[in-house]
Chain A
Amino acid sequence: MSDLLFTNARLIDPEAGTDALGALLVRGGRIVAQGQEVGLSEEDVTVVDCGGKCLAPGIVDLGVKVCEPGERHKESYRSAGLAAAAGGVTTIVTRPDTNPTIDSPETLEFVTRRAQADAPVNVVPMAALTKARAGREMTEIGFLMDAGAVAFTDCDHVVADTKVLSRALSYARALGALVIGHPQEPGLSDGAAATSGKFASLRGLPSVTPMAERMGLDRDIALLEMTGARYHADQITTARALPALERAKANGLDITAGVGIHHLTLNEFDVADYRTFFKLKPPLRAEDDRQAVIEAVRSGLIDVICSMHTPQDEESKRLPFEEAASGAVGLETLLPAAMRLYHAGDLDLPTLFRAMSLNPAKRLGLSCGRLSEGAPADLVLFDPDAPFVLDRFTLRSKSKNTPFDGGRMQGRVLATYVGGAPVYRRD
């Protein structure tokens, strides 16, 4: 592996909170120095002139669905890995909501093998919290951790039985395992395709009150108080859930929260005339909620921004809205979409990369996600200003279900490095 010297780079350092010109030196796949004085006297290095473009720690995308095993036609480790590389995502943290569910060490070993063979980026797997995500019996959390699971989640299946969840959380606490919940009151959200309000009523869509998210979060927080478990809420998308999250953090509970990029950049009206690529779970929210959640990312109350990459084939989306599958692909569009928040003046680049790279890495105990000395050289070089119109058929994912199809984007990945090795370069 050749050593690299990135010069003339706009270094986005989420740890220091800085955005400044400088150089960054990589030796042996690790960052060894960064700053304005770096590299002036280095020899035996390949110099990469960044031309004043941004160099940031590669994105750690928490909650990516790769459809192996079960639905490889929707997304494989190969296609997801290529999409990730092209999107500046250097670590994908995979979800267990496959078919069958990743709920045993054997299945986990299978996907780990597949990932290592096929994906050009780092893949770290999560496993289910309960068997078959059915919410009845906890999985072999200990064995699964030994096999490499970094967190435990039933994804969008809420463990409705509070006793089951409290036991799983207690058990997970003893092992130091991170549990990822989907805060939602399932009795209210069952069957919903939109957020309740005038828009859902005009379209005649079954809807869920935004209060269902707060109720789910309140319950999970109460269980954390009981059990002391490590917990991450996968997506907080409503203003009403934020005070509860703030109190829980202030009370010292081991809790963090994330939000998907689509909920930060789109609102319920984007569904327009039943556009199913905008059908997400939880559904898109009102503009007030979107603004509140952006503010929560800025303040650090919400820790993580992720893509919630969920591939769906054409058949499962070309249906009446209520029947259509939920979810959108996002590995390749996460960074350009995040640049919308930057260009709108909502969030600066160090804040964005704190939420996309640093915080998820820290929460999962990974050493990547930062530009500091000793960290792996997982890097993304991007031009935050480059404009383009997104054509979904250019995406590397096998599934093309992006809500940004035809959208005007600004911000393009120029190159991606994993452990100092280039895995993507824009021609």
Chain B
Amino acid sequence: MTFAHRHLLGIEPLQPQEITTILDLAETYVALNRQSDKHADVLAGLTQINMFFENSTRTQASFELAGKRLGADVMNMAMQASSIKKGETLIDTAMTLNAMHPDLLVVRHPHSGAVDLLAQKVNCAVLNAGDGRHEHPTQALLDALTIRRAKGRLHRLNIAICGDIAHSRVARSNILLLGKMENRIRLIGPPTLMPSGIAEFGVEVFDDMRAGLKDVDVVMMLRLQKERMDGGFIPSEREYYHRYGLDAEKLALAKPDAIVMHPGPMNRGVEIDGTLADDINRSVIQDQVEMGVAVRMAAMELLARNLATGAAV
């Protein structure tokens, strides 16, 4: 088992076998989480602080539960309401928290690279819970675990990622992870929502969703942020839904056993048909939430181990 990192800041620095290490360990926690006694004590005595500079319900809850089930002392800080408003800089906030000797710091921030910056200034292990449009590594890991369990493998799959790729950290982390594991990736969306330089990413790009979905094994939908509508990226919700919303008719072009994923929260009727999202034969959206807790438990355990042994690089 190898995982030689001090922080989990992104998928980019991870080796394929390290990804497998996290997923394998997460499998054991999936089993634990389904028992009535969900307690392990691998993080007992350690302090975990969740710092969310951006609103989050599900990710924060998932990290909190993961820490508590592993026996850590967990504290949540809603940074939007705190000293940031009083003009304190990110680094000052980090130094202040650092002085309280946390062991694990879970950080979400609206600016790309902010979590990297913070990680340079603290002594503990830092987990990136999403920074700007850069990375959201635990989301990609939980998606990978969901796919591996549903498809029996995590390689040589045709995977479509659909929607607002340009502004999505989930898309970036998934492109990196699924690419490292040797899958074929298709990106589907209007050109206004594609990042620049996309031709160099080693992916196929489709602006026609029907063509893009043909024979894929996995359909990964992304959330369309409301502010994109005002920004002139798309003409209207209804035209977006017509051309890029996932419904049963478009899904019929994918493989018959293709699974449907969404990182949540969903805009029903904007990027995904509500009935389809609830179809337990196709949608694995609830599994993704379940895998999220397990993957975060695994990631935190591995980082805590490295913290204890000093084995991290």
Q: Is the pair A202, B111 in contact by a Cβ cutoff of 8 Å? A: no
Q: Which residue of B lies closest to A322 (CB)?
A: B111
Chain A interface: which of B73-81, B128-136, B215-223, B300-308?
B128-136
CB of A401, distance to nearest CB on chain B (Å): 16
B91 part of interface (Cβ distance < 8 Å): yes
Task: Give the interface residue-count category, chain B.
Answer: 20 to 34
A174 part of interface (Cβ distance < 8 Å): no
Q: Is the pair A320, B197 in contact by a Cβ cutoff of 8 Å? A: no
Q: Is the pair B111, A321 in contact by a Cβ cutoff of 8 Å? A: yes
Q: Is the pair B91, A318 in contact by a Cβ cutoff of 8 Å? A: yes
Residues on the A chain within 8 Å of B312, using CB = none
Residues on the B chain within 8 Å of A323, using CB = 111
Residues on the B chain within 8 Å of A312, using CB = none
| Cross-chain contact of A320 among B112, B166, B196 (Cβ < 8 A) | B112
B227 part of interface (Cβ distance < 8 Å): no
A319 part of interface (Cβ distance < 8 Å): yes
CB of A315, distance to nearest CB on chain B (Å): 7
Q: Is the pair B196, A201 in contact by a Cβ cutoff of 8 Å? A: yes
Max chain A C-beta neighbours (<10 A), residue from B91, B172, B196, B200: B196
The 8 A CB mask of A175-216 against B (1 = contact, 0 = none) is 000000000000000000000111111111101010000000
| Cross-chain contact of B12 among A199, A202, A207, A322 (Cβ < 8 A) | A202
Cα distance, A338 to B290, chains bound together (Å)? 57
Task: Give the interface residue-count category, chain A.
Answer: 20 to 34
A274 part of interface (Cβ distance < 8 Å): yes
User: Which residues B147-192 have CB closer than 8 A to chain A?
Assistant: 166, 169, 172
B114 part of interface (Cβ distance < 8 Å): yes
The 8 A CB mask of A51-87 against B (1 = contact, 0 = none) is 0000000000000000000000000000000000000
Residues on the A chain within 8 Å of B131, using CB = 204
- Where chain A touches its partner, the secondary structure class is loop
Max chain A C-beta neighbours (<10 A), residue from B113, B116, B117: B113
A43 part of interface (Cβ distance < 8 Å): no
Q: A274-B113, A320-B113 are in contact. Are A204 and B90 (CB under 8 A)?
A: no
Q: Is the pair A198, B112 in contact by a Cβ cutoff of 8 Å? A: no
CB of A341, distance to nearest CB on chain B (Å): 27
| Cross-chain contact of B89 among A205, A315, A322 (Cβ < 8 A) | A315
Cα distance, A355 to B206, chains bound together (Å)? 47
A273 part of interface (Cβ distance < 8 Å): yes
Residues on the A chain within 8 Å of B111, using CB = 320-323
Cα distance, A319 to B111, chains bound together (Å)? 10
Residues on the A chain within 8 Å of B113, using CB = 203-205, 273-274, 320-322
| Cross-chain contact of B197 among A196, A204, A321, A322 (Cβ < 8 A) | A196
Cα distance, A344 to B174, chains bound together (Å)? 40
Max chain B C-beta neighbours (<10 A), residue from A199, A274, A319: A274
Q: Is the pair A322, B132 in contact by a Cβ cutoff of 8 Å? A: yes
CB of A287, distance to nearest CB on chain B (Å): 13
Q: A202-B172, A204-B132 are in contact. Are A321 and B112 (CB under 8 A)?
A: yes
Residues on the A chain within 8 Å of B166, using CB = 201
Cα distance, A319 to B135, chains bound together (Å)? 18
CB of A196, distance to nearest CB on chain B (Å): 4
Residues on the A chain within 8 Å of B195, using CB = 200-201
Cα distance, A318 to B12, chains bound together (Å)? 23
Cα distance, A318 to B114, chains bound together (Å)? 10
Q: Is the pair B172, A207 in contact by a Cβ cutoff of 8 Å? A: no
Max chain B C-beta neighbours (<10 A), residue from A198, A202, A205, A323: A202
Residues on the B chain within 8 Å of A197, using CB = 196-197, 200
Residues on the A chain within 8 Å of B91, using CB = 318
CB of A61, distance to nearest CB on chain B (Å): 31
B109 part of interface (Cβ distance < 8 Å): yes
Q: Is the pair A198, B89 in contact by a Cβ cutoff of 8 Å? A: no
- For this complex, 10 residue pairs linking A to B, each with C-beta atoms less than 8 Å apart, are A197-B196, A197-B200, A198-B198, A200-B195, A201-B197, A205-B113, A318-B117, A320-B109, A320-B112, A321-B111
Across chains A and B, which 10 residue pairs bring their CB atoms closest together, nearest first? A204-B134, A198-B197, A274-B113, A196-B196, A201-B195, A204-B112, A204-B133, A320-B111, A320-B114, A197-B197
Apart from A200-B196, A274-B116, what 12 extra A-B contacts exist at CB < 8 Å? A198-B198, A198-B200, A199-B197, A201-B198, A202-B12, A203-B112, A204-B112, A205-B112, A273-B116, A315-B89, A319-B90, A322-B132
